Every structure is written in structure tokens, then in C-alpha cells.
Amino acid sequence: MSDEESKKPEHESHLRSVIKGVTWRVVATTVTFLLAHWITGRVDVAVKIAGWEAFAKIFAYYLHERAWQAVPRGTIRGWFGKGAG
């Protein structure tokens, strides 16, 4: 292992995670915009679709995260017979 590899942190920083989340949202919304523009041929409609998509998916992700908070840790392993651990 090189000196540079041994200096890498084991976990990503919070800032790196936030930056990755924001850049992913930009990429995903851009893809939605391009598809909507290609399908409709209208920039105004594509902007509306992409804008609503970004908002809706951020909200859906929040609900998804909160739903997972209701699942006690170890539950999923239990479903597959591996026990908590």
C-alpha cells in the first residue's frame, strides 16, 4: 500500500457526501430535461417537467429515508435468517 493510500479516510466526509448528492441531482435532472425536450420538442415543457421532477424526487427520497428509520436495525437480516449483528 502506498503512503497516499494509507492516508485516505475510511469514510467519506459529510461535505463530500453533500457535494455528491447535489451533483447527482444536477446530472439526473439534466437527463430528465433532455428526455422531456426530446419527447415534447418544447423547452418550456422540459423545464417544467425537470423542475417538478427534482422537487418530487427530493421529497420522495426524504419519505424513503423516514420510512427506513421506522425499520429497526437487524430486521432485514432477520428476514433472510442471518440474525441481527
Reading the block at residue 57, the C-alpha cell is 424526487
Residue 83 has a pLDDT of 56
Question: In this structure, are residues 74 and 82 in contact, taking their beta carbons and an 8 Å threshold?
Answer: no
* DSSP summary character for residue 85: -
Q: Using 70 as the pLDDT threshold, list the residues of the chain that sit under it.
A: 1-9, 82-85
Residue range 69-80, pLDDT digits in tens: 888 888 888 888
C-alpha distances in Å from residue 13, one per residue of 1, 16, 30, 47, 66: 22, 5, 26, 33, 22
- Percentage of the chain beyond pLDDT 70 is 85
Residue 10 has a pLDDT of 77
The number of angstroms, rounded, from the C-alpha of 43 to the middle of its chain's C-alpha atoms is 26
* DSSP summary character for residue 71: S
